[in-house]
Amino acid sequence: MKGFLSYLILWILSKKKMNGAQISRELEIRRGTKPSPGTLYPALKELKDKGLVESDENKYYSLTDKGKIELNSACNFFCKAFYDMKEMSNCCER
Amino acid sequence: MKGFLSYLILWILSKKKMNGAQISRELEIRRGTKPSPGTLYPALKELKDKGLVESDENKYYSLTDKGKIELNSACNFFCKAFYDMKEMSNCCER
DNA sequence: TTAATTGTATCGGTTATCCGATATAAACCA
DNA sequence: TGGTTTATATCGGATAACCGATACAATTAA
């Protein structure tokens, strides 16, 4: 179940500006477990190096325009791959 | 964008019994590219070793009960992680 | 039957992904 | 002020994920 983390971070940041600790807590809500700091901070650094996120003087991260495009592209990919995903929603209700 | 393959295979097999070559073509439709045979067949072998899929005498693969549970569990995980995914559907339409 | 195509399978290697341990800095509190 | 918690960051290492090359079997076509 690897490989979701970076996209989940992009998704989270697309909704709200957050610092590392807040992102960590949000990930716990969504995934069930907090990422190790040795996972989260390198991931944020990589996203920043790629120009997908930026951080202000208080270490609050947000998406760049490039990050928004990247997230949209990932959504497109996902929706194409699971184009018949509606049936999956059976798992999600209730 | 790694880590989607095994779940996509489970998803595909939940809809239709297929052999390796058919799975490969279905993946091309959904992802844009065929997986390398060095990716696909080890992936199928692993899914089989884990008891998630089974194959008949003609190498047609299908989900086992365990595989159905696993797929459902993955759907639950995904829907929880991206519970506010509806907004993502903007990317999917049209 | 032979040749060509299609399908299956394995191997070695590369890179991605994530973790625990550790260190430092910042914020809070006694 | 000094001590404790919280937040940020890096490092080395383990495993997952995937690829191209290669080999062989099975099917199809000539």
User: Partners of B53 in the beta sheet?
Assistant: B63
Closest partner residue to A8 (CB to CB) among B74, B81, B91 is B81
Is the confidence at residue B29, as pLDDT, over 70? yes
Work out the number of other CB atoms within 10 angstroms of the CB of residue B78. Answer: 20
What's the pLDDT tens digit per position in A35-44? 999 999 999 9
Main-chain phi, psi angles of A24, to 5 degrees: -60, -45
Within 13 Å and on the Cβ side, how many CA atoms surround B31? 20
CB contacts, 8 Å: B81 with chain A: 4, 8, 30-31
Calculate how close chain B gets to A58, using CA atoms only, in Å.
27
Per-residue DSSP letters for A31-94?
A: HSSPPPHHHHHHHHHHHHHTTSEEE-TT--EEE-HHHHHHHHHHHHHHHHHTTTGGGGHHHH--
How sure is the predictor about A94, in pLDDT bands with cuts at 50, 70 and 90?
very low
What average pLDDT does this structure show over A49-75?
96
Helices A5-15 and A65-81, axial angle in degrees (round to 10) = 120
Determine the residue type at A20. G
How far apart CA A24 and CA A41 sit, in angstroms, is 10
User: Does the structure show a pLDDT above 80 at A92?
Assistant: no
The Cα of A39 is separated from the nearest Cα of chain B by a number of Å equal to: 16
Instruction: Summarize pLDDT for A3-23 with one digit per residue, the tens.
Output: 899 999 999 999 999 999 999
Indicate the SS3 state at residue B64: coil
Distance CA(A67)–CA(A62), nearest Å, equals 9
Domains of chain B: 5-92 (1.10.10.10)
Q: What letter would DSSP give residue B52?
A: S
Decide if B91 and A83 are in contact by the 8 Å CB cutoff: no
Among candidates A30, A81, A89 on the partner chain, residue whose Cβ is nearest the Cβ of B30: A81
**Beta-carbon count within 10 A of A73 CB:** 12
Position with higher pLDDT, A49 vs A89: A49
Q: B22-44: buried (b, 16+ CB within 10 Å) or exposed (e) per residue?
A: ebbebbeebbeebbeeeebeebb
CA B68, B71, A83, B46: dihedral to nearest 10 degrees?
-100
